[in-house]
A and B are shown apart, each in its own frame.
Chain A
């Protein structure tokens, strides 16, 4: 009885008693969620177009951030470093298409998955070789990202919004909306989906796989760069950062591997769920539940909707 009350009554009583604290927790959840969404978006882009689960997405994020900071360290001005990093991500996309995807065309999915493991280790080694293995701090000021906090006096208390988080949310929103429209409504978007669906048929209507793959890997690289900037600003830029990519897995399960809106909604649900769980229920379980709660939420969803919230309907003909 005691336990039931602690689980199902007390946390909600706390929420009602201090709504400003609840708002703060939800805001922090949303911000973390936005960043999870961005990582998930990178996975979704590549999966949609090449049917490859790109294990290297996390490391691409670190590599992009590292290139940006590393170039700046070597004396390149911030704006030039940003442009150069985007160019590097394009070169990376070209190289991956030419050296990894093209020779492996029409191989089973598992082969391509393993190839992305290879890309991961290559990028770790290459990044360390060029920029060194020490953690670096993100050049937020030089990139003109705002700092400081915005205090909202609402709900009978104070809610603190970091300006950097607001910027992250705004950029994520812009990226997601433009990518979703792009996928649904344009020729190249249709070609991307066509390639994801059936390689042979796509070729027969005159879609060039090589070109499409470069476009998606480049887009995923740019998304990785944006994610890397904001994650890097919250902690620091190091290879350890790639573990946050693992947080994208429950997001993908929740949102569906093929859905851009799914990645964003899934990210937000996971982010908010995680923070609420940690803050209100965590103490009951001795704290530290943030690290596994996301997977539990995802598992619960998986039982009900195996294709995810917005995943393409699974149509099987027998």
Chain B
């Protein structure tokens, strides 16, 4: 039992969040274990994205607490969450559109590069070495995601599927402990989804990222995830392994409606 609590990377405890009078999340608790792929599913407006925003510090819940690596986390800004090892992608791709694929991924190395303004302005010595070392990491990620051909293309000009991939690359460049993916496969065709699934699994297995993922494609969720938490109208209605969740009456009700 003790081993299990040590294994918990992030725990959300009785979190409630509202905007004005609108309740987005009501008293939700769940945890994410180190090394797992955790899916968060639910119908539109269930509070899934709000939940991710709470985890990476965009929103601050009115009630409840978040334990990160076993310790209660103080109110945190997004860039502090990033410094703690939490990376994310967004539902509607948030890339730096005027910048190239390579530059976008290099921004993910921002926190790994420590040389100060002075050396950077000179672009000499330690700053240059650092730039080269980090560039190598990014090139390796570009290789891994099979996007070599668009390395120098401004990302705004890329098709949607590739933009999603670049965004994943930027998050991976941070070498995160916890990777939050908000609908990584939305709007993709079958082939693109298969590619993306492969990248997610490999990021999880070989790059050691714990992953929390929001996804609407139930087939994908069942294949990828170790455990699934289901939200509906801001409340948690199920939390279990995929096979159990699939046959849960409440979950089916939330998705299909209940007959009265």
Give chain A's interface residues, CB within 8 Å of chain B: 178, 181-182, 185-191, 193-194, 197-198, 200-209, 215, 258, 312-313, 315, 317
- Please name the residue on chain A nearest to B115 by beta carbon: A187
Q: Known pairs A187-B131, A190-B107. 16 more at Cβ < 8 A?
A: A181-B123, A187-B113, A190-B106, A194-B96, A194-B99, A202-B96, A202-B107, A204-B78, A205-B82, A206-B83, A206-B110, A207-B107, A209-B79, A258-B98, A315-B97, A315-B154
* Known contacts A186-B131, A215-B117, A315-B154; A205 and B99 CB within 8 A of each other: no
Chain A proximity of B225: nearest CB distance (Å): 22
Interchain CA distance A207-B96 in the complex, whole Å:
13
Contact status A312-B110, CB under 8 Å: no
What are the residues of chain A within 8 A of B41 when measuring CB–CB? Answer: none
Binary CB contact string for chain B from 138 to 162 against chain A (1 if under 8 A, 0 otherwise): 0000000000000000101100000
- Closest residue on chain A to residue B160 by CB atoms: A317
Question: When the two chains form their complex, are residues A201 and B110 in contact, meaning their CB atoms are under 8 A apart?
Answer: no
Comparing B2-10, B87-95, B201-209, B237-245, the segment that makes contact with chain A is B87-95
Q: Does more than half of chain A's interface fall in helix, strand or loop, or is it mixed?
A: helix
Contacts of A205 in B (CB 8 A): 82, 87, 107-108, 110-111, 170-171, 174
A203's closest neighbor in chain B, by CB? B78
Q: Which B residues are CB-close (under 8 A) to A185? A: 123, 131
Q: Which residues of A contact B95 (CB under 8 A)?
A: 197-198, 201
Check if B79 sits within 8 Å of A186, measured CB to CB.
no
Please give the distance in Å from B93's CB to the nearest CB on chain A.
9
- The residue in chain A whose Cβ has the minimal distance to the Cβ of B93 is A201
Instruction: Find B110's partner among A182, A190, A200, A258 (CB 8 Å cutoff).
Output: A190
**Residues of A close to B48: CB separation below 8 A:** none
The verdict on B127 contacting chain A, using a C-beta distance below 8 Å, is yes
Which chain A residue shows the least CB distance to B116?
A: A188
A136 to B174, CA, bound (A): 53
Task: Tell yes or no: B165 within 8 A of A by CB.
Answer: no
Q: What are the residues of chain A within 8 A of B83 when measuring CB–CB?
A: 206
Nearest-Cβ distance from residue A76 to partner chain B, whole angstroms: 26
A-side contacts of B88, CB under 8 Å: 204
Q: Is the CB of A207 within 8 A of B79?
A: yes
A195 to B, closest residue via Cβ: B96
Contact A201 B90 (CB under 8 A): yes
Name which residue of chain B comes closest to A191, CB basis: B110
Chain B residues lying within 8 Å of A312, measured Cβ to Cβ, are 98, 154
Q: List 27 A-B contacts (CB under 8 A).
A: A181-B123, A182-B120, A186-B127, A187-B110, A188-B117, A189-B120, A190-B107, A190-B110, A191-B107, A193-B98, A193-B99, A194-B99, A197-B98, A200-B78, A201-B95, A203-B58, A205-B110, A205-B111, A205-B174, A206-B82, A206-B110, A206-B174, A312-B154, A313-B156, A315-B98, A315-B154, A317-B156
Residues 71-85 of B, flagged 1 when their CB comes within 8 A of A and 0 if not, give 000000111001100
CA distance A222 to B115 in the complex (A): 22
CA distance A193 to B104 in the complex (A): 10
Provide the B162-175 mask, 1 if CB < 8 A to any CB of A, else 0.
00000000110010
CA distance A190 to B138 in the complex (A): 14
A201 and B157 alpha carbons, distance in the complex (Å): 18
A188 touches B120 (CB 8 A): yes
> Given that A313-B154, A315-B156 are known contacts, is A186 also in contact with B82, CB under 8 Å in the complex?
no
Please report the C-alpha to C-alpha distance between residue A187 and residue B128 in the assembled complex, in whole angstroms. 10
In the bound complex, do residue B82 and residue A201 qualify as a contact, i.e. CB atoms below 8 Å apart?
no
The interface bits of chain B over 215-251 (1 if a CB of A lies within 8 angstroms of the residue's CB, else 0) are 0000000000000000000000000000000000000
Cβ–Cβ < 8 Å partners of A188 in chain B: 117, 120
Which chain A positions have C-beta within 8 A of B130? 187
10 shortest interchain CB distances as A-B pairs? A206-B82, A315-B156, A201-B94, A197-B96, A203-B78, A186-B120, A206-B111, A312-B98, A187-B113, A208-B79
Whether A194 contacts B107 by the Cβ 8 Å rule is yes
Bound Cα distance A189, B122 (Å): 12
Contact status A203-B127, CB under 8 Å: no
CB of B95 to closest CB in A, whole Å = 7
| A200/B90 in contact, CB under 8 A | yes
Max chain A C-beta neighbours (<10 A), residue from B88, B98, B108, B115: B98
Interface check B49, CB cutoff 8 A: no
Q: How far is the CB of B27 from chain A (nearest CB, A)?
A: 26
Q: Closest CB-CB distance, B169 to chain A, in whole Å? A: 11
CB distance from A99 to the nearest CB of B (A): 19
Q: Does B38 belong to the interface (CB within 8 Å)? A: no
A202 to B77, CA, bound (A): 12
Residues of chain A with a CB closer than 8 A to B97's CB: 197-198, 315
Q: How far is the CA of A269 from the CA of B42 in the complex (A)?
A: 58
Which A residues are CB-close (under 8 A) to B127?
Answer: 186
Measured between C-beta atoms, what is the minimum distance from B160 to chain A in Å? 8
